[in-house]
Amino acid sequence: MKTILVPTDFSDVSRNASRYAVNLAKSLNYKVLLFHVYNLPVLTAGDFSTTEMIDISELEKGYTERLNEEATFLRKGSDITIECKTMSGFAVDEIAVIEEKEKPDLIVMGLSSTGTISDFMFGSITTDVVKNTQTPVIIVPEASQYKEIKKIVFTSDLKMECEMCMHAPLKDLIESFNSNISILNVVKEQADKIGKDDGVSGRRIEKYFENKEHMYHFLENNDIIAGISEFIVNQNIDMITMIPQKHNLIERLFKESNTKKMAFHVDIPLLTLPAIPC
Mean pLDDT, range 249-276, rounded to an integer: 62
Instruction: Kindly report the CATH number that applies to the domain delimited by 151-272.
Output: 3.40.50.620
185-210 pLDDT, tens digit each: 887 765 555 555 556 777 888 888 88
More confident position, 259 or 162: 162
211-223 pLDDT, tens digit each: 898 998 888 888 7
List the domain boundaries for the chain. 3-141, 151-272
Q: Which one, of 246, 241, 227, lies nearest residue 187 by Cα? A: 227
From 30-34, 44-48, 93-97, 265-269, the region with the lowest mean pLDDT = 44-48
Percent over 90 (pLDDT), the chain: 39
Q: CB of 222 within 8 A of CB of 188?
A: yes
The C-alpha atoms of residue 37 and residue 190 are separated, in whole angstroms, by 47
Report residue 272 CA to chain centroid gap. Answer: 6
Burial group, residue 278, by CB count within 10 angstroms (0-12, 13-18, 19+): exposed
Residue 4 scores a pLDDT above 90: yes
Instruction: Kindly report the CATH number that applies to the domain delimited by 3-141.
Output: 3.40.50.620
Place 31 in a pLDDT band, splitting at 50, 70 and 90: very high
More confident position, 112 or 54: 112
Strand, coil or helix: what is 62? helix
Q: Pairing state of beta strands 137-141 and 270-272?
A: antiparallel
Mean pLDDT, range 109-135, rounded to an integer: 65
pLDDT at 60: 83
More confident position, 157 or 253: 157
More confident position, 129 or 190: 129
Name the strands in the sheet holding 137-141, side by side, starting at the edge strand that comes first in the sequence: 82-88, 31-38, 3-7, 106-111, 137-141, 270-272, 239-242, 151-155, 180-187, 214-220
Cα→Cα distances 263→28, 112, 144, 259, Å: 23, 8, 10, 6
Percent over 70 (pLDDT), the chain: 76
The C-alpha atoms of residue 208 and residue 51 are separated, in whole angstroms, by 59
The C-alpha atoms of residue 108 and residue 241 are separated, in whole angstroms, by 14
pLDDT at 250: 43
Q: CB of 41 within 8 A of CB of 54?
A: yes
Place 122 in a pLDDT band, splitting at 50, 70 and 90: very low
Burial group, residue 84, by CB count within 10 angstroms (0-12, 13-18, 19+): buried
pTM for the model: 0.84
More confident position, 4 or 247: 4
pLDDT at 247: 40
Same fold: 3-141 with 151-272: yes
The C-alpha atoms of residue 141 and residue 113 are separated, in whole angstroms, by 9
DSSP string, 130-173: HHH-SS-EEEEETT-------EEEEES----SS-BPPPHHHHHH
User: In the beta sheet, which residues pair with residue 29?
Assistant: none
Mean per-residue pLDDT over the chain, rounded:
80
Q: CB of 42 within 8 A of CB of 90?
A: no
41-98 pLDDT, tens digit each: 655 555 554 444 566 777 888 889 999 999 999 998 788 999 999 998 888 899 999 9
Residue 224 scores a pLDDT above 80: no
pLDDT at 255: 45
Q: Which one, of 233, 219, 222, 211, lies nearest residue 183 by Cα? A: 219
Residue 251 scores a pLDDT above 60: no
User: In the beta sheet, which residues pair with residue 7?
Assistant: 35
